[in-house]
């Protein structure tokens, strides 16, 4: 019974990132549909942009929706991944200021490999776990 209550508490906590993600997605979708997208060379990188009102708030919403969901997860490994992704976002922001190209994409690809490696080790649903 305690395990079920704990799982329900985690689900309730995750409604925050879900709600913020939906709102952020709506703002970004509206901006992409109604405003021009720009691209400019920034040193060795290409910077893409769209005129979004309250851009720092939208970026914060994006980060809370994507990273917050991991940091609030019930699984310790997902929280660890969230911490690594948060550190990566900070690192990517610093590298972007120095005009390194595609830092977030490279970091997200590396993190995806971590998730793939973990998912590949899980037992298929409905199967009986093997003894250790």
Closest residue by Cα to residue 99 from 41, 38, 56, 39: 41
Under 8 Å between Cβ of 73 and 82 = yes
Instruction: Give the predicted TM-score (pTM) of the model.
Output: 0.66
Neighbour-count burial of 112, counting CB atoms closer than 10 A to its CB (0-12 exposed, 13-18 middle, 19+ buried): exposed
Distance CA 69, CA 86 (A): 11
Over residues 12-65, the pLDDT tens digits come to 888 999 999 999 999 999 999 999 988 888 777 777 788 888 888 998 999 999
Closest residue by Cα to residue 66 from 43, 78, 82, 50: 82
């Amino acid at each position: 019974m305690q395990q079920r209550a704990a799982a329900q508490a985690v689900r309730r906590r995750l409604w925050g990132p879900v709600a913020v993600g939906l709102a952020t997605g709506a703002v970004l979708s509206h901006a992409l549909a109604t405003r021009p997208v720009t691209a400019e060379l920034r040193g060795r990188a290409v910077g893409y942009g769209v005129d979004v009102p309250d851009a720092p708030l939208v970026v914060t919403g994006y980060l809370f929706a994507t990273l917050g969901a991991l940091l609030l997860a019930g699984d310790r490994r997902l929280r660890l991944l969230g911490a690594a992704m948060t550190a990566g976002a900070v690192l990517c922001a610093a590298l972007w200021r120095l005009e390194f190209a595609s830092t977030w994409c490279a970091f997200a690809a590396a993190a995806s490999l971590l998730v793939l490696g973990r998912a590949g080790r899980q037992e298929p649903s409905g199967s009986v776990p093997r003894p250790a």
